[in-house]
Amino acid sequence: MVAVGGDLAPGTLLQAYRKGMFPMYLPDGHLGWWSPIDRAVIPLDGLRITRSLRQSCRRYFVTVDEDFTSVVQRCADPRREGGWITPEFVEAYSELHRLGWAHSIEVWDSEGSLAGGLYGVSIGGLFAGESMFHRTRDASKVALVHLVVLMSTGGGELLDVQWQTPHLESLGAVVIGKGAYLDRLGRAIRGPGPFARSAHETRG
């Protein structure tokens, strides 16, 4: 943690991401700003896609920015273990989405129900992943696959997943030092990035 206080206004959030920080509320209710010494990223050429995940990619329909609100609300479900997304966060990131800075990947099943997804903040070639959820097997992983493809083909450079976890490590996430992250961040945010294009949809 590098700072306490401030607000979740769009300008504050964007300035924080440009400096390698992201917010989370502390147990005492204060707003904390974090910049991990050991930062986790997913190399765009290092995502691990198993045979079963490839099969799952063919079972779902994927969209971009079609239902940001539902994705954030599902990620913020208070019944989720370790939930940290408060109503204030939902409101703040929904405003970032309205302004064109926050984006979602939605994964739909064959019946047209939202099966999983993810959301995060995009500045140039940076995508700072905030949270993901799934209702059915591999749905959140399929969202991640689509994000990596979108970034790889659209000018993305840096996929930030904040802290390493066993789940993220199994998908190919690696830990880099804070200095290396900030160097890569500075280059990434100067590019156009994949979300400069209009949102589109695809199968798997």
Can you give the pLDDT at residue 80? 73
Can you give the pLDDT at residue 82? 62
Mean pLDDT of 194-199: 62
Tell whether the model's pLDDT for residue 134 goes beyond 90: yes
- The pTM for the full model equals 0.92
Q: Where are the domains of the chain?
A: 37-203
* SS3 letters across the chain: CCEECCCCCHHHHHHHHHCCCEEEECCCCCEEEECCCEEEECCCCCCCCCHHHHHHHCCCEEEECCCHHHHHHHHCCCCCCCCCCCHHHHHHHHHHHHCCCEEEEEEECCCCCEEEEEEEEEECCEEEEEEEEECCCCHHHHHHHHHHHHHHHHCCCEEEEECCCHHHHHCCCEEEEHHHHHHHHHHHCCCCCHHHCCCCEEEC
Can you give the pLDDT at residue 193? 86
Can you give the pLDDT at residue 175? 97
Can you give the pLDDT at residue 196? 66
CATH architecture of the region 37-203 = 3-Layer(aba) Sandwich (3.40)
**What percent of the chain has pLDDT above 90?**
87
Can you give the pLDDT at residue 145? 97
Can you give the pLDDT at residue 64? 96
